[in-house]
Amino acid sequence: MHKGSCHCGRISFEVEGDITGAMACNCSICQRKGSLLWFVPREKMRLLSAEDAARSYTFNKHVIKHRFCPTCGMHPYGEGVDPKGNAMAAINIRCLEGIDLESVPVNMFDGRSK
């Protein structure tokens, strides 16, 4: 179990699973945010704060909810569906407590070309 939050703590959550890798994307929003994303089934993430503590931003095809804190501006997670229609969460591992980022293999994804 991992605990995560935005910088100010308004958004907090727990997520269950083993982090075996993360993804860095070069699309227009991910490149600016600098997120390292770990994808998990949405039911493995449990919000500890109220659902409405986070705001959503969508763009392009409007299928991914990029969730962010309206107070501190951090982007701790996103929500969407996988190709099979399963609800997924994209956890920004930079917002998790106690993660040694140097030990997590990062795969690059060319979202700019998609």
What DSSP element (H or E) covers 33? Answer: helix 28-33
Q: Residue ranges per domain, the chain?
A: 2-113
CA 3, CA 101: separation in Å to the nearest integer? 15
Q: What fold is seen in the domain 2-113?
A: 2.170.150
pLDDT tens digit string along 8-24? 999 999 999 999 999 99
Tell me what pLDDT residue 63 has.
Answer: 79
CA 80, CA 66: separation in Å to the nearest integer? 9
pLDDT tens digit string along 21-76? 999 999 888 889 999 999 999 999 999 999 999 999 988 777 789 999 999 999 99
- Helix (H/G/I), strand (E/B), else coil: 40: strand
- Helix (H/G/I), strand (E/B), else coil: 59: coil
CA 103, CA 114: separation in Å to the nearest integer? 28
Tell me what pLDDT residue 62 has.
Answer: 79
Please report, in angstroms and rounded to a whole number, the separation of the first and last CA atoms in the chain.
33
